[in-house]
């Protein structure tokens, strides 16, 4: 979810807070049968549909192809049964997803005949949210409302590992607005004070890349490592209930300092991924 266009960003926060508040009209577990998911062996039954104006019709098959490639590459992940992508034109590059409704709005610029790397990163990132939502669908409302910042880490990890690019989630039109999405730069937790859900885990992203994901010997282990990261993020949400909470808009994580929140997550990831990080 990129933040270049303020209007869309506000709209996005609105949807996020709707989805995370108690009065949410979106109730993933009850209202969306299609989110029940299937194991990778059953991926052929996954329905991928793409809705597009004529000028982007050539992108339809590329989009379906990328989703299939994500399923194949990370075959340890549970994936949604059905996914619908709507191509649209925005003033900026921006995508949004609705928890409980497997629809991705992907904004494309100009008369593109093929997806740019940034389009692919957006698509995979949003798909990552649905995979995350499948994983937490049985959890309490408290846990799900706390999940935003952890979801953003996983959605970014998926795009970074799919493209093999630690800067995959940066918006190069607005690099400073997406600073915290950069896996390539290590920043110590004590030096990071931003608690916005996309940005708060910049130190964790740097840790993941420098200690695990960038190691040549780990690249072919992504199909195991990425599901382990997802599992750790979900477990961490459970352990933070009662300590952390989202703010009223669902856009910030409060209850501890960003440094403490990062340190706790880095410790959990380090323990879980020790077998992959011992050679760093």
Please identify the residue of the shown chain whose CB is closest to the bound Zn ion: 1
With tokens 């005949």, the residue in question is 113
- Of 37 and 148, the one with the shorter C-beta distance to Zn ion is 148
- Of 101 and 224, the one with the shorter C-beta distance to Zn ion is 101
Which residues 6+ apart lie within 8 Å of 69 measured at CB? 162
- Of 19 and 155, the one with the shorter C-beta distance to Zn ion is 155
Q: CB of 236: closest distance to Zn ion in angstroms?
A: 17
- Of 1 and 168, the one with the shorter C-beta distance to Zn ion is 1
- Of 63 and 155, the one with the shorter C-beta distance to Zn ion is 155
Q: CB of 217: closest distance to Zn ion in angstroms?
A: 29
Q: Which residues here bind Zn ion, judged by CB under 5 A?
A: 1, 155
- Of 9 and 276, the one with the shorter C-beta distance to Zn ion is 9
Secondary structure, 3-state, the chain: CCCCCHHHHHHHHHHHHHHHCCCCCCCHHHHCHHHHCECHHHHHHCEEEEECCHHHCCHHHHHHHHHHHHHHHCCCCCECCEEEEEEECCCCCCEEEECCEEEEEEECCCCCCCCCHHHHHHHHHHHHHHHHHHHHCCCCHHHHHHCHHHHHHHHHHHHHHHHCCCCCCCCCCCHHHHHHHCCCCCCCHHHCCCCECCCCCHHHHHHHHHHHHCCHHHHHHHHHHHHHHHHHHHHHHHHHECCEEECCCCCEEECCCHHHHHHHHHHHHHHHCHHHHCCC
Q: CB of 152: closest distance to Zn ion in angstroms?
A: 5
Q: CB of 130: closest distance to Zn ion in angstroms?
A: 11
Q: CB of 174: closest distance to Zn ion in angstroms?
A: 15
- Of 35 and 155, the one with the shorter C-beta distance to Zn ion is 155
With tokens 């993020």, the residue in question is 233
Q: CB of 40: closest distance to Zn ion in angstroms?
A: 23
Q: CB of 280: closest distance to Zn ion in angstroms?
A: 28
């Amino acid at each position: 979810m990129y933040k270049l266009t303020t209007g869309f960003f506000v709209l996005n926060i609105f949807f996020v807070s709707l989805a995370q508040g108690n009065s949410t009209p979106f109730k993933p577990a009850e209202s969306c049968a299609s989110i029940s998911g299937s194991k990778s062996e059953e991926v052929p039954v996954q329905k991928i549909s793409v809705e597009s104006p004529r000028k982007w019709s050539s992108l339809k098959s590329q989009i379906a192809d990328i989703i299939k490639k994500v399923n194949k590459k990370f075959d340890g992940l549970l994936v949604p049964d059905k996914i619908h992508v709507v191509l649209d034109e925005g003033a900026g590059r921006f995508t949004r997803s609705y928890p409980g409704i497997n629809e991705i709005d992907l904004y494309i610029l100009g008369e593109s005949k093929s997806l740019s790397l940034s389009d692919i990163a957006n698509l995979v990132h949003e798909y990552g949210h649905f995979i995350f939502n499948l994983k937490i669908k049985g959890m309490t409302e408290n846990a799900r409302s706390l999940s935003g910042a952890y979801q953003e880490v996983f959605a970014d990890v998926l795009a970074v590992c799919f493209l093999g690019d630690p800067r995959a989630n940066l918006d190069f039109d607005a690099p400073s607005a997406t600073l915290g999405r950069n896996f390539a730069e290590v920043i110590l937790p004590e030096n990071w004070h931003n608690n916005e859900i996309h940005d708060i885990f910049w130190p964790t992203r740097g840790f993941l890349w420098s200690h695990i994901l960038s190691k040549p010997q780990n690249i072919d282990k992504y199909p195991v490592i990425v599901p382990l990261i997802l599992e750790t993020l979900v477990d961490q949400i459970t352990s933070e209930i009662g300590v952390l909470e989202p703010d009223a808009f669902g856009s910030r994580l409060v209850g501890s300092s960003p440094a403490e929140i990062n340190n706790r997550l880095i410790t959990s990831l380090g323990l879980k991924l020790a077998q992959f990080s011992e050679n760093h």
